Every structure is written in C-alpha cells, then in structure tokens.
C-alpha cells in the first residue's frame, strides 16, 4: 500500500474545482487533496449541515478556501445557482468532479418505479445537469476546463442487484467519451475514474451491509486482498483534473486492485488450489496426454 500524496505542492494553484457530493466519502477526500494542492473548492450536496461542517473542517485542515452550497443535482436551476455562486466567490471554475451518487442493493423486481428513478436521476441526470450548465458557460467564455466523472467498473459490464446504478453509470461513461470528442475543440477535457471498493459510510452501509458479511466477503474478489485507500483515489483524481493530464482525454481509469479483471479471468479461481496439490494435478494432467 502506498499512501503518499503524489503531485507537487501548488499543482492546482489558481484552479477552482466544483465537487458534487463533496461533503462526504470520496468527494470529501478528493476535495481535501485538491485544497492541499492549492485549489479553491466548491462542495455541494442536499444536506447543508453536512457540507458546512465539512467545509469548516477542510479549511482548518488545509488552510484552503471552501465554498459550500446546497444543491440537488437533479434540479437544473439549483445547479445553475451553485455555478453562479462559485463564479461570484472565486471569479472562475476550472474543473468539475461529478461525484454525487445514490445507490443501494436490491433485486430489481423489488424496486418501485420511483426507486429506479431516484438513482438514475441523481447519477445520470445529476451528472449531465452539472456538465451542461458548466459546459455552456465555459464555451461562452472560451475557457479551458476539465471534467472528471466518477463511474464504476460495472458501467461496462452491468451488475445485478444495483441495476439502476449500472444503467446510470453506463450513461455517464457514454457522456464522458462523447464529450471528450465533441468538446475538445473548446479545450474541455472529459475523463473518468472507475473505482473498485473504497470504504465509505455512504457506499458500504448500502452495498455491503453487516448482515451480509456472513455470506459475502467483498475482499475475496480483489486479488490484492485489500480495499482502496482514499489517498490513492485522490492522487489519480488530482492528476486527471490537473494540467499534467492535458493530453489525457476520453480516458477511464480503473482503480480496483485488479478486481474486475480477476473476476473475468476464466481460471483465476484456481488461486484456491493449495500449492502442494499442484504436484498431484500436474501428474494427472500429464498422464492424460499419454492415454
């Protein structure tokens, strides 16, 4: 495990970055690192008390400037209001991290249509609302900028039991790649990160609840046998949003300790074979060749 901050001091100086869902979990951790690197950060979510408390803590911890504005990303007018407040406070916004999300596990047939809507609206509509509102402003102002979307590895593969999230994150993946092409002529880059499991209260309480632990151990699926560290994700996010990544556009970086590829590899479960058993297996398999 390597948990050191990655970029040089001041790497994000003179940048202002909007992080949706920045009051908790990975959004908070990314915001903290952006501040340590010299950026101003705007955090937004539905809960004023949460983002205000986080803003205060982050300012104390980093000495940076944080603006906390309530915004439900599903509501376009609220998104426009956050952006206006951000420009009023900092004079500019240079980066957008579409991090806000909603998710929970459920067999799909148990979902109400409202439950399906709520996840898709937060994740997909929320992401395109923020992207569209800021993108219009950037294009009108001829301002170069960077968008970073937080997706998942099941954006490609789909996944049972989180189907609304899978549908929405697949949409966000399509948005990332589409705009990387269309908006690059305006100097707007668009990239994404696909994290595997990183412990956060928000995700783990809804996706890996304690009463499931007896039958499912998420660590078994990860060949590195550990969860991600928030600094590891923050390092990647800071790089992708920064000018160091000026030629990285339309990329989605998976950071999952090999979980996805491990699950896909036909024979990877052979890890379970005890080492001494390989002598016996080899003898048996070689024996077959002679038959």
User: Catalytic one among 154, 186, 239, 244?
Assistant: 154
d(CA 229, CA 67): 26
Q: CB-based burial of residue 36 (10 Å sphere; 0-12 exposed, 13-18 middle, 19+ buried)?
A: buried
E-assigned strand segments in the chain: 16-20, 40-45, 66-70, 95-98, 145-150, 188-195, 252-255
Give least dist CB 130 to ligand NAP, A.
9
Residue 79 parent element (H or E): helix 76-90
221 makes contact with ligand NAP (CB under 6 A): no
Among 86, 102, 171, 257, binds ligand HXC (CB under 6 A): 102
Among 64, 86, 171, 197, binds ligand NAP (CB under 6 A): 197
150 makes contact with ligand NAP (CB under 6 A): yes
Name the binder of 252 from ligand NAP, ligand HXC, none, CB < 5-8 A by kind.
Answer: none
Give 64 or 102: the residue with its C-beta nearer to ligand HXC.
102
Q: How many CB atoms lie within 10 A of CB 246?
A: 11
46 makes contact with ligand NAP (CB under 6 A): yes
Percentages of the chain per state (helix, strand, coil), in multiples of 5: 55, 15, 35
Of 43, 35, 44, 30, whose CA–CA distance to 15 is shortest? Answer: 35
Of 166, 170, 189, 171, whose CA–CA distance to 241 is shortest? Answer: 189
Give least dist CB 139 to ligand NAP, A.
24
Told to judge if 227 belongs to the known catalytic residues of this protein, a careful annotator would answer no
E-assigned strand segments in 228-277: 252-255
Which structure tokens are listed for 108? Answer: 């799909």
Count of residues interacting with ligand NAP (CB under 6 A) = 29
Contacts of residue 141, Cβ cutoff 8 Å, sequence gap at least 6: none
Among 19, 25, 240, 242, binds ligand NAP (CB under 6 A): 25
177 makes contact with ligand NAP (CB under 6 A): no
Name the binder of 114 from ligand NAP, ligand HXC, none, CB < 5-8 A by kind.
Answer: ligand HXC
Give 20 or 40: the residue with its C-beta nearer to ligand NAP.
20
Among 87, 104, 156, 239, binds ligand HXC (CB under 6 A): 104
Give least dist CB 29 to ligand NAP, A.
8
* Sole window of 34-42, 79-87, 104-112, 192-200 interacting with ligand NAP (rule: CB under 6 A): 192-200
So which residues are the catalytic ones?
154
């Amino acid at each position: 495990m390597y948990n050191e901050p990655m970029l040089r001091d001041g790497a994000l100086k003179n940048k202002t970055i909007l992080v949706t869902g920045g009051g908790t979990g990975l959004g908070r951790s990314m915001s903290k690192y952006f501040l340590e690197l010299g950026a101003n950060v705007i955090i937004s979510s539905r809960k004023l008390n949460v983002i205000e408390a986080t803003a205060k803590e982050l300012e104390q911890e980093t000495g940076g400037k944080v603006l906390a504005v309530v915004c439900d990303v599903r509501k376009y007018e609220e998104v426009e209001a956050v952006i206006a407040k951000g420009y009023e406070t900092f004079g500019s916004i240079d980066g957008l991290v579409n991090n806000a999300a909603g998710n929970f596990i459920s067999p799909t047939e148990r979902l109400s249509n409202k439950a399906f809507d709520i996840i898709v609206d937060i994740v997909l509509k929320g992401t395109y609302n923020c992207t569209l509102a800021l993108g219009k402003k950037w294009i009108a102002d001829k301002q170069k900028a960077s968008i970073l979307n937080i997706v998942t590895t099941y954006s490609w593969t789909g996944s049972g039991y989180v189907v609304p999230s899978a549908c929405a994150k697949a949409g966000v993946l399509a948005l990332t790649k589409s705009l990387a092409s269309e908006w690059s002529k305006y100097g707007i880059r668009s990239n994404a990160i696909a994290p595997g499991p990183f412990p956060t209260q928000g995700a783990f309480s809804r996706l890996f609840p304690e009463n499931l632990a007896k039958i499912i151990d998420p660590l078994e699926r990860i060949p590195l046998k550990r969860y991600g560290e928030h600094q590891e994700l923050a390092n990647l996010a800071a790089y992708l949003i920064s000018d160091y990544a000026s030629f990285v556009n339309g990329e989605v970086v998976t950071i999952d300790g090999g979980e996805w590829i491990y699950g896909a590899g036909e024979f990877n479960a052979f890890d379970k074979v005890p080492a001494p058993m390989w002598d016996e297996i080899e003898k048996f398999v070689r024996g077959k060749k002679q038959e």
